Amino acid sequence: MSCDMSRDRLWTWVQGEDDDAASRAEISQHLEVCLSCKSEVSDMRDLIGDLQNVAVSCAPVAPTEAPRVIGDYQILRQIGRGGSSVVYQAEQRDTRTPVALKVIGGGPRVNDSQSRLFEREVQTLARLNHPAIAAVLEAGRLDDGSFFFAMELVRGVSLREFAEGRRFEGPDEKPLNLRERLVLFRRVCEGVSYAHQRGVTHCDIRPSNILVSDHGAGHSHGNDLPAFPKLIDIGHARLMGRDEAARSTHGDDGRYVYSLPYLSPEHAQGRQDQIDVRSDIYSLGVVLYELVTGGLPDDGSRNSPRSAVGPSCRQAPVHRGNRKRLVPGELASIILKAMENEPPQRYQSAAALADDIDRFMSGMPVLARPLSTRYQLRKLVARHRLPFALAAMLLLSFVGSGVAALLQARQISSDAARSQRVQAILESFYEAPDPERSGRRDVTVIQSLDAKAKALTEELDDDPLVAAAVRNTIGNTYRSLSDLPSAALHLTFALETRRKLLGDDNIETAKSMNDLGELRVLQEQPDQAENLWQAALAVRRSVLGPDDPRVAETLNHLGVLKSQDGERFEEAKANLEEALRIRRNVLAAVQADSAASREVRLARENVARTLNDLGGLYRIRHTPDEFADAERSYREALRLRQESFGPVHPQVAKVHNNLGKLLQSKGEFDAAEQCFQTALRILRSDHSYGDDHQYIARLLSSIAQVKLARGDISAAQAFGEEALALREKLLGATHAETTESRRFLDSLVSSRAAAN
């Protein structure tokens, strides 16, 4: 190595054995700039990967000299070898068509199992005709008893290599950015989905089985990314609903013969009857993880056989070499949902996974989150603007005329408490009855806001501090209306102006930092958000003291942000617990000093919200202690919200749902079902939701899952059917959630058939 970093340190780091957080951070930063060490680390990871593959397979075959001719094919060179097969690059002698020729065994060594495997592979592949799947051109048997088949020769590099910029021909290019990687992955999903629809599961999806070339055809996305993936080696694919004898006998040895990190738990455990399309979804999840982060889920939780028997991987994906860099929250949720331990918890189809990727790329809410998170609310705001028309109109009423706006702005500028109250009012509109029911978008509101904001900006040109206060509020409103570029424009102006005129250590500046941080999270820039919040926190603590509710606000933000990084659990916990302490004190003070029910309710809701976030944090750890803490937090949040809102309120239902999800994770299916049923009753009886609502369908689906977990397949089917009917009615037959419900029911029917 050409730098001072010792290889011992790198080995310790690569193997997850560096206990010193500062040292880990130093190495991560070093790898960002040192290509030599980066390459070194890459080699180390490859070595470990090879070690795992070799150690678990124990199945080499002695190299043999390649024949010159096989059947009608002229052999050019050997390009690969499996445990019982050799793959050659060859060409058809008459047409000179280039092919990849796969030959199974040598006559005497071919046994029935190998023959069956080969025949099945041929049957499987012969049915497939898709640009993302390598086509089978011919198959047959040679004189010596060996089988062969000729496949389309794919001139590409593995998915991993392609993402890193390597090309089959020509010079390397820049590594793909996140969006390009997702586009590429989306195309892989198309191929997998196509195969699934024809009853074919791949069963061995991994980056080396996905070759990518930079020229080809067949994708009709309108996206011009020159990347054409092809799935190869579907030799382990099993036919769904056919070849039952082979299904029950082949591969029953239960050993880890595939590439471990990508193998689904049910496959790794040899639960042959449970391997279906959702096993491929798991593998796709790991492939996506690797594509997004550059590494595999580490700490042994996913790249070892232990994963097959351990709990679900619930740690947020982290970038290889820079653990502080967060994977965008929605994307992390997509990955984790695909990699759920239990198949019913995963996406039920490759199409559903692809749809969620699409949603993520287009800024729509993804399905990979429970309904109870504040995230949902934020995304609802982002997508459905009608209720936020009220908030915007409120703002417009402030700024409707120049004089009124100026007065209002001066108040905001001079009175932080007033500003906070305005924000609280706006926030109360954010939690207005669900906008999904209307499903309408009111673009005139944002158009009006554009015009007013422009006029106001010009009008306040002579008073930058007032302009900063107003534009901070305008920015927040744009943020609520999901116009992030406009929000950034105004919030950045407000922050820069305040920094310039008031300095960094000013409470108004801190507010701008806090608000801009919230925007950065929506813009998937968590590092920037964290920096802003840390700065805002320091100012608020020093100016307002450690017990001010605004300190708690920023602490809560930081805690939620850090909770997305499994490695920062303790930091997140410290932030949220501190926020909780402050908010509890505020609540006590308000209850003692004020009879104003609204003040008390607001303070109580703040406590409930932090408790809910803490519950979510504890829940991801999957340990008995943390499960207990999560349950305590949820139960107190529930009690507080019931005090504020009464027993029947959507906010109460959300905590019931969260608690249900927790209990479901703990395996307490009876109690989980009670929670879901309670939430269901509340939503059905609450006038703001009505009987037909997407949330209700989700709760029905959750109940179906716990019924299934308890072995009550009939009830699971009944609830699953109800969820499906509702989703078909609300969302249409092709919506991803509808498809998910249908898949769930299909798997139930299959299970019943198998049981009978």
Q: Which of residues 481-540 bind another protein (CB under 8 A)?
A: none
Q: How far apart are CA 348 and CA 744, in angstroms?
A: 7
Q: Under a CB-based contact definition with an 8 Å cutoff, are residues 326 and 334 in contact?
A: no
- Taking CB under 8 A as the criterion, the residue among 38, 81, 166, 639 binding another protein is 81
Q: Is 112 in the site for another protein (CB under 8 A)?
A: no
Residue 711 engages another protein in binding (rule: CB under 8 A): yes
Nearer to another protein, 250 or 324 (CB): 250
Q: Residues touching another protein: how many (CB under 8 A)?
A: 73
Indicate whether 448 belongs to the interface with another protein (CB under 8 A): no
Residues 327, 288: Cα–Cα separation, whole Å: 12
The nearer residue to another protein, 168 or 429, going by C-beta atoms, is: 168
Of 23-31, 567-575, 594-602, 664-672, which segment contacts another protein by CB under 8 A? 664-672
Backbone angles phi, psi at 266, to 5 degrees: -65, -35
Provide, rounded to whole angstroms, the least separation between the CB of residue 311 and another protein.
8
**Binders in 712-751 for another protein, by CB under 8 A:** none
From candidates 114, 633, 658, 739, binder to another protein by CB under 8 A: 114
403 vs 755, beta carbon nearer another protein = 755
Among 11, 168, 429, 430, binds another protein (CB under 8 A): 11
- Bridge partners (DSSP) listed for residue 149: 102, 139
* Bridge-based pairing state of the strands 210-213 and 228-231: antiparallel
Helix 443-459 to helix 464-480 angle (10° resolution) is 170
**Binding to another protein by residue 117, rule CB under 8 A?**
yes
With CB under 8 A as the contact rule, the residue among 72, 74, 75, 80 that binds another protein is: 80
Q: Do 723 and 704 form a contact (C-beta atoms < 8 A)?
A: yes
The only residue of 71, 105, 297, 615 in contact with another protein, by rule CB under 8 A: 105
Choice between 256 and 478, CB closer to another protein: 256
Contact call for residue 15 and another protein (CB under 8 A): yes
Strands 210-213 and 157-158: antiparallel
Burial of 51 (0-12, 13-18, 19+ CB in 10 A): exposed
Closest distance of CB 98 from another protein, Å = 21
The shares of helix, strand and coil residues in the chain, as percent rounded to the nearest 5, are 60, 10, 30
Q: What is the DSSP letter of 364?
A: P
Is residue 89 within 8 Å of residue 153, measured between CB atoms?
A: yes
Among 279, 250, 254, residue whose Cα is nearest residue 119: 250
Q: Which stretch binds another protein (CB under 8 A): 134-142, 230-238, 373-381, 688-696?
A: 230-238
18-77: contacts with another protein (CB under 8 A): 40, 43-44, 47-48, 50-61, 63
* Tokens describing residue 598: 């609204």
Give the nearest distance from C-beta 32 to another protein in angstroms. Answer: 21
Say which residue the tokens 């108040």 belong to: 411
- What is the CA angle 58-62-67, rounded to 5? 140
Q: What is the rounded CA–CA span in Å between residue 750 and residue 756?
A: 10
State whether the Cα torsion 200-201-203-209 is positive or negative: positive
Residues in the chain: 756
Among 25, 32, 69, 83, which residue sits at the site for another protein (rule: CB under 8 A)?
83
Q: What are phi and psi of 334, to 5 degrees?
A: -60, -45
Phi and psi, residue 258, nearest 5°: -105, -175
* Residue 270, amino acid: G
Cβ-based nearer residue to another protein, 77 or 96: 77
Q: How far is CA 240 from CA 275, 352, 443, 747, in A?
A: 10, 19, 48, 12
12 binds another protein (CB under 8 A): yes
Q: Of the listed pieces 481-489, 527-535, 612-620, 709-717, which binds another protein according to CB under 8 A?
A: 709-717
Q: Per rule CB under 8 A, is residue 642 in the interface with another protein?
A: no
Comparison of 8 and 691: residue with beta carbon closer to another protein: 8
We find the least distance from the C-beta atom of residue 334 to another protein, in angstroms, to be 22
Which tokens is 352 given? 């559903």
- Between 8 and 461, CB nearer to another protein: 8
Q: Does 107 bind another protein (CB under 8 A)?
A: no
Give residues 191-220 in contact with another protein (rule: CB under 8 A): 204, 208
Question: What's the rounded Cα separation, in Å, for the pair 714 and 106?
Answer: 50
Neighbouring residues of 234: CB distance < 8 A, sequence distance ≥ 6: 121, 124, 125, 128, 133, 195, 200, 202, 203, 204
Of residues 165, 402, 667, 732, which one binds another protein by CB under 8 A? 667
**CA proximity to 186, closest of 134, 128, 229:** 229
Give residues 290-319 in contact with another protein (rule: CB under 8 A). Answer: 300-301, 303-307, 309-310
Question: Do 231 and 210 meet the contact criterion of CB atoms below 8 Å apart?
Answer: yes
Residue 139: in which H helix or E strand, if any? strand 136-141
Nearer to another protein, 85 or 283 (CB): 85
Backbone phi and psi for residue 548, each to the nearest 5 degrees, phi listed first: -75, 145
Which lies closer to another protein via its Cβ, residue 259 or residue 612?
A: 259
Q: Which two tokens stand for residue 721?
A: 């059917």
Tracing tokens 């640009």 back to the chain, one arrives at 131
CB 523 within 8 A of CB 537: no
Give the nearer residue to another protein in terms of CB position, either 15 or 428: 15
Specify burial of residue 585 (Cβ count, 10 A radius: 0-12, 13-18, 19+): middle
Pick between residue 122 and residue 539 the one whose CB is nearest to another protein: 122
Q: Alpha-carbon distance 728 to 740, whole Å?
A: 11
Question: From the CB of 67, what's the least distance to another protein, in Å?
Answer: 17
Interaction with another protein in 387-446: which residues (CB under 8 A)? none
The answer to whether 292 touches 335, Cβ cutoff 8 Å, is yes
Q: Of 150 and 445, which has the nearer Cβ to another protein?
A: 150
- Look up residue 21 and give its amino acid: A
Nearer to another protein, 82 or 226 (CB): 82
**Piece of 163-171, 228-236, 402-410, 425-433 that binds another protein (CB under 8 A):** 228-236
- Give the nearer residue to another protein in terms of CB position, either 300 or 546: 300
Closer residue to another protein, CB minimum distance, 203 or 426: 203
Site for another protein in 236-255 (CB under 8 A): 236, 253-255
Q: Which residue has the tokens 């036919």?
A: 239
Decide: is 109 part of the binding site for another protein (CB under 8 A): yes
256 makes contact with another protein (CB under 8 A)? yes
Residue 280 or 330 with smaller CB distance to another protein: 280
Beta strands in 304-345 (DSSP E): 318-319, 322-326
- Segment 339 to 378, residues that bind another protein, using CB under 8 A: 342-344
3-state SS class at 592: helix
Question: In the complex, what is the shortest distance from the CB of residue 396 to another protein, in angstroms, rounded to a whole number?
Answer: 52
CB of 685 to another protein, least distance (A): 30
Q: Tell me if 145 contacts another protein by CB under 8 A.
A: no
- CA 156 vs CA 16, 225, 478: distances in Å: 33, 15, 45
Closer residue to another protein, CB minimum distance, 122 or 465: 122
Asked if residues 523 and 509 have their Cβ atoms less than 8 Å apart, the reply is no
Q: 54 vs 443, which CB is nearer to another protein?
A: 54
Among 3, 7, 165, 252, binds another protein (CB under 8 A): 7
Within residues 558-577, the interface with another protein by CB under 8 A covers none
Rounded least distance, CB 191 to another protein, Å: 18
Is there binding between residue 321 and another protein (CB under 8 A)?
Answer: no
Site residues for another protein, 258-297, by CB under 8 A, read 258, 266, 269-271, 274
Q: Is 173 in the site for another protein (CB under 8 A)?
A: no
